[in-house]
Structure 1
Amino acid sequence: MKGPLPQLDRLVLTDGGLETDFIFNRGVDLPCFASIVLLGTDKGRAALEAYYRPYLELARGLGTGFILESATWRASPDWAAPLGLRPAELDGLNIAAIDLLHQLREEFASSTFEIVISGCVGPRGDGYDPGQFMDVTAAAGYHLHQARVLAAAGADMLSALTMTNVNEATGVVLAAQEVGLPVAVSFTLETDGRLPTGDPLMNAVEAVDTATGEYPAYYMINCAHPDHFAAVLEESAAWTQRIRGVRANASRCSHRELDAMTTLDAGDPVELGRLYRRLLERQPQITVLGGCCGTDLRHVTAVAEACVNRPANPQAP
């Protein structure tokens, strides 16, 4: 893809909660919650293609753009050993993940349907728990390896999803800067609208921007229900304009409650769509719409149908 990211000036969709969809809805075992293993077999690759296609068809039908997010969220170097892979094998799966997205873009993209290929970078540890902190230098050094692999494979951008703390988010941004790719940073939020570290979202955004010369293309919110963070974004402050994407959870449960569940709380897709629309009426700069834990095509469809071509009047129902 050449030129500026289309999501900077138009509405684009992305997918839902890939891992929870595969595990709970499709009955596919993902060791360590790592969807990257699907690229290791023809069957798994076909399953990923089947997962992405309906999202692409939805976006094309509604006239939005689309961000194809790679299945590499849990595919940074530390995860090779737990997945029973050699580092070179994990690198190969990262490359295969981007190759798959290029093939899908070649099939679906047109002059009126823009598709962005995003290399997904997840946290070194857990997406709910900040765990053991790295300093910024260590975080940049750790994430640089995967950033280089994804960039060389042909990703248009990087997306740092489920970031739980400022240091690691800053490190990913510096790694993206090193490889010359734009990057979006998406923070995990708790039920109080703060990061798992307790940092307010405003402080996290401003800290990363300050440390990186405002390098991120934009920020996103993920892994929280809109009820958990809507009030935070009601502030009339300049920093909120940096929030351009939402990948919300279907459930209102806390992360601790979700971790303890053996069944999926899929929430109410139609209600979720209404909540997204209400959010966009107050924060019209938000242009990237997708889902996180517990969401699937039903939820993204409901969100898209509620938000695409919504009335310009912020008081419209």
Structure 2
Amino acid sequence: MTDLLSRLLGQRQWLLADGATGTNLYNMGLAPGDVPDLWCETHPDRVRDLHRQMIASGADLILTNSFGANASRLRLARAQDRVAAINLAAARLAREAVEHAGRPVIVAGSIGPTGEIMAPVGHLTETQATQLFTEQALALKQGGADILWIETVSAAEEMRAASRAAEEAGLPWCGMMSFEPGGRSMMGVSPPQLAKLIDRLPYPPVAYGANCGTGPSELLLAVSGFAAAGCERPLIAKPNAGVPRYQDGGLVYDATPEVMAEFAVLARDLGIRIIGGCCGTTPAHLAAMRDALEQRPSGPRPSSDAISSRIEALMTR
């Protein structure tokens, strides 16, 4: 049976992924320094409510609150022995929110980077990374995740490990790297290099692309490098809503809903199939993106200059 993501991609020009998890939870009361993933057990109602807000704002795909729920990261909170329980709870909360959506919504099991530097620069081997990811993946599958969503990766070795974990779990997956302003990941991977890596994987993703980064314009310019590499897989763009600042006791990002709506239209016209937002993207941002995608007609493929100028014009208002 074809997975839900592939079926929807076969029916639709674009799909809207959700917005931020961590930054929205901070604005819902998560204390600075606390681990967002643990809220799946301590504050499940708030996590479920955030999922429901994203669905109400138009999300076709929501991420579980499990970005940092691998044993390496959870060790910092002395919760490394609760990996399975936390990921299981994360997937179940998202599944509960989707059950009342009234339309198909994909539950994507979020898996972020290990938090360690991969060998040979660091000490974490691909085999160890695969074990960390597989532990998460199996629990997310058990909790009801439709796909795995590997995001904010910076090393090729970590992407390969994530692919093996997805294969071990028997789930389709999507993979995203985060790119710096210079156009490469923190570990030096360029978009064309990622495209070539994806094509060589024995268990390739349904879709791939970029997330996080410094803002919508920079991320779109990075993603345009995937198309230049000739890869024909569906692409993903999920940028931060600009740059954060601390205001009124919470984090506020400088990209308004209007800016993110413009990003969404540019992404669609660039040929990106899965469009969403990362850090700072609220349900209000997402609702504006959905409205723009539905109401504004498709245009020509935007140039790099058009991407930069159209977003910059809105950012400086």
TM-score tier by shorter-chain length is 0.7 to 0.9
Matched, 1:213 2:206: no
Q: Assess if the C-alpha contact under 8 Å between 2:91 and 2:109 holds in 1.
A: yes
The share of aligned pairs that are identical, in percent, is: 24
Q: Cα RMSD (Å) of the superposition?
A: 2.9
Distance in 2 (CA, whole Å) between partners of 1:126 and 1:294 is 24
Structure 2 unaligned regions, length at least 5: 303-309, 311-317
State whether residues 266 and 295 of structure 1, in contact with CA within 8 Å, keep that contact through their aligned partners in structure 2. Answer: no
Tell whether the 8 Å contact from 2:192 to 2:228 is kept in structure 1 after alignment: no
Deviation string, structure 1 residues 195-254 (Cα, Å, up to 9, x no partner): 1112211102211331x236111102111222213334445535454352211111158x
Residues 7 and 287, structure 1, Cα contact 8 Å, conserved in 2: no
Matches within 5 A, 1:157-236: 157-210=147-200, 212-213=201-202, 215-224=204-213, 225-234=215-224
Look up the equivalent residue of 1:26 and give its one-letter code: M
Deviation at 1:312, TM superposition (A): 3.5
Secondary structure of the residue aligned to 2:193 is helix
Change (3 A) 1:251 1:126: farther
Deviations 1:44-95 (A, max 9, x none): 1111122121221222xxxxx61121100010112333223251x3321211
TM-score by length of 1: 0.82
Residues in 1 aligned to 2:190 and 2:235: alpha-carbon distance in whole angstroms: 17
Give the aligned residue type for 1:168.
E
- SS of 2:204's equivalent? coil
Structure-to-structure mapping, 1:1-317, within 5 angstroms: 3-5=3-5, 6-9=7-10, 10=12, 11-23=14-26, 25-29=27-31, 31=33, 34-41=35-42, 44-59=43-58, 66-85=60-79, 87=81, 89-109=82-102, 113-125=103-115, 132=122, 134-210=124-200, 212-213=201-202, 215-224=204-213, 225-234=215-224, 237=228, 239-251=230-242, 263-283=251-271, 286-314=272-300
- TM-score by length of structure 2 reads 0.82
Aligned partner letter, 2:262: R
Measured after TM superposition, the shift of residue 142 of structure 1 is 2.5
What is residue 307 of structure 2 aligned with on the other side? none
Question: How far 1:131 sits from its partner (Å)?
Answer: 8.0
130-139 vs 192-201, which moves further = 130-139
The number of equivalent residue pairs is: 293
Return the letter of the residue paired with 2:91. I
